[in-house]
Structure 1
Amino acid sequence: MRKLLLTIPAAMLLAAPAMSEEKPRLTEKQQIMLDKRLEGRTAGEPKSCIGRNDQRNMTVISDDILLFSSSRNAKTIYVNKPYGGCHNADRNILVYRRSSAALCRGEIVQLVDNLSGMTMGSCAFGDFVPYTKDAN
């Protein structure tokens, strides 16, 4: 029985990267917002961490897609797909505590209700995929 209890969490960890590869289902409005933000940009190789400057502006597209950048008109926007999604991220404040200035894959984010201040859940960041403006 003890071996079974240890293998279940291990199987969940192994399945998490596969879950993040699934294409998220977006509403028409969410898809338009994502397309607008990524228009004229090309995807790069995923990064496991982003620096403090690239965390200044976060946009919640859906429970499955978060965008990070240094500003609204930043040259590079990072797309993050939290493992298993981040349910109601658009209705709550995301609070993350870390030991370094970098924000990295696997870090846990707590969702805190705007009004009550109560923790409403948590989620874990996936890879950060950079989308950089194409040279004109």
Structure 2
Amino acid sequence: MILALAVFVSAIAACGPVDSTPKPLTDKQSVRLTKELSGKVAGEAVNCISDFNGANVIRISDDILLYRVSGRLVYKNTLRGGCPGLANDNDVIVTEQFGSQKCRGDLIKLVDRTTGIQGPVCSLGEFVPYRKNKTAG
């Protein structure tokens, strides 16, 4: 058992350091993010949001998710360390959360739609609310 663990750890180390620096947004991703947040003003980040319909999750990039609550409120979440392959929208997002809220530090897994094979496990960051300005119609 210890030998197997040692082999596993050395195999991971042989892969080299993992670069967790977020890649810059592509032009397409920037346009989509701007469109989704247009007319909204950022508020103070919160650690948790109420759980709601998961169908309203928008993948912007490998490190940015948007949670659309309504036309007036969207939460932007910048994942801690990114999530390779998230932007491809090929996999199902499975959230591991504790309680009735999504919180900073909760884990999301990417699972292949066809095979059910689990991909990366990633951690949610803070949730920044973007609200429509009340003075704008």
Q: TM-score range by the shorter chain?
A: 0.7 to 0.9
- Which deviates the most, 87-96 or 40-49? 87-96
Rounded to whole Å, the distance in 2 between the matches of 1:41 and 1:99 is 30
Q: Tell me if the contact between 2:22 and 2:82 (Cα under 8 Å) persists in the aligned partners.
A: no
Q: Which amino acid aligns with 1:29?
A: K
Deviations 1:28-73 (A, max 9, x none): 00000000000000000001001023755100000011000224xx
Which residue number corresponds to residue 77 of structure 2? 80
The residue identity in structure 2 corresponding to 1:108 is L
Partner of residue 52, structure 2? 53
In structure 2, how many angstroms separate the alpha carbons of the residues matched to 1:77 and 1:24? 22
Task: Please provide the CA RMSD for this pair.
Answer: 1.8
Q: Deviations over 1:63-111 (max 9, x none)?
A: 011000224xx21100001111011112211101323110000011111
Long gaps (5+) in structure 1: 1-18
Equivalent residue, structure 1, for 2:108: 109
Aligned partner of residue 122 in structure 2, secondary structure? strand
Q: Distance in 2 between matches of 1:58 and 1:108?
A: 15
The normalised TM-score by structure 2 is 0.76
For residues 55 and 129 of structure 1, do their structure 2 counterparts lie closer, same or farther at Cα, with a shift above 3 Å needed?
farther
**Which moves more between the two structures, 39-48 or 88-97?**
88-97
Distance 2:95 2:65 in 1: 14
In the alignment, structure 2 segments of 5+ residues that lack a partner are 1-19
Q: Which has the larger radius of gyration?
A: 2
Higher helix share: 1
Q: Tell me, what secondary structure is at the counterpart of 1:131?
A: strand
Q: TM-score, normalised by structure 1?
A: 0.77
- Cα distance change of structure 1 residues 124 and 23 upon mapping to structure 2, 3 Å threshold: closer
2:12 match:
none
2:6 aligns with none
When residues 43 and 23 of structure 1 are mapped into structure 2, their CA distance, relative to the original with a 3 A threshold, is farther
Q: In structure 1, how many angstroms separate the alpha carbons of the residues matched to 2:25 and 2:101?
A: 28
